[in-house]
Amino acid sequence: MLAQPKPTDSNVLEHERIYRNLRNQIMHGEVPPGQALTLRGLAQTFGVSMTPAREAVRRLAAEGALTLSLSGRVTTPALSNERIEELASIRALLEPELASRALSRAHLALIDRLTLINSANAEAVAKQDAVAYIRTNLEFHRTLYLRAQAPAILAMTETIWLQLGPTMRMLYAKLRRNEPPRNHRLILAALRAGDEPGLRLAVRTDVTQGLRHLTS
């Protein structure tokens, strides 16, 4: 007996495209906290039917990147101070561990790559480009953490980044940065020196210091 064709195959592809695109926008702070979205609007934006838009939203809601009410209202999270503190604490646990696991594989080519990313981060600061700043900041961390070869920890970390994305845009506006994060330089120095305690401290400080400005 022939298998029935799957009419949803194209929807699956469209759903994946919408999911990845919207996920990146949220993670990089392109969508402000508490922003209301509609399935119809998303479908129109991406040129698809409602079905793949709905599936992408459900997937992002499961990751905490969007909230989906019983009435179907979709919004980006507007985090309370308590929630920000909680997520900052989780980052302070996960990210130093990732950095520590990556240290033994932090060869010179990786450090050079991180230095280039940090230069791009500095350019974003000079241009006051908040989205580019957040994107290059996360790229700096992710490039290092990939060397940890700990995909489960990295996946949890990226979920935290995703939930914090809209809030990070608010943080950038509040801090009015005019130079790249000092702790990135300390992270690079610790990597060059093979200094695990120094690396853990620099990463922990980097991932919590800014967020705590939002709750003070």
Q: Clarify whether residues 105 and 171 are in a common domain.
A: yes
Question: What pLDDT sits at residue 197?
Answer: 98
Q: Are residues 104 and 69 in the same domain?
A: no
Are residues 71 and 85 located together in one domain of the fold? no
CATH number at residue 46: 1.10.10.10
Q: Is residue 162 part of a domain?
A: yes
- Same structural domain for residues 192 and 145? yes
CB of 95 within 8 A of CB of 133?
Answer: no
DSSP symbol at 131: H
Identify the bridge partners of residue 37 per DSSP, sorted by sequence position: 74
DSSP per-residue codes, 35-100: -EE-HHHHHHHHT--HHHHHHHHHHHHHTTSSEE-TT--EE-----HHHHHHHHHHHHHHHHHHHH
Residue with the bigger pLDDT between 23 and 72: it is 23
In this structure, the answer to whether residues 126 and 185 fall within a common structural domain is yes
Say yes or no to pLDDT of 7 above 50.
no
3-state secondary structure of 28: coil
Q: Domain end: 25, 41, 75, which one?
A: 75
Percent of the chain exceeding pLDDT 70 equals 88
Residue 1 lies in a domain: no
CATH at 208: 1.20.120.530
**Amino acid type, 34:** G
pTM of this structure: 0.87
pLDDT digits (tens, 9 = 90+) for 154-169: 999 999 999 999 888 8
**Residues 63 and 94 occupy one common structural domain:** no
Q: Do 129 and 147 belong together in one domain?
A: yes
Same domain for 95 and 16, yes or no, is no
Domain boundary among 56, 75, 94: 75
Average confidence score pLDDT of the chain: 88
Looking at the structure of the chain, the number of domains it has is: 2
- pLDDT of 31 strictly over 70: yes
Asked if pLDDT for residue 177 goes beyond 60, the answer is yes
Closest CA to 213 of 96, 122, 91, 88: 88
CA 169-174-180 angle, 5° bins: 75
Residues facing 67 on adjacent strands:
75
103 domain residue, yes or no = yes
Does residue 114 lie in a domain region?
yes
For residue 45, the enclosing domain spans: 9-75
Q: What integer pLDDT is reported at residue 6 of this predicted model?
A: 46
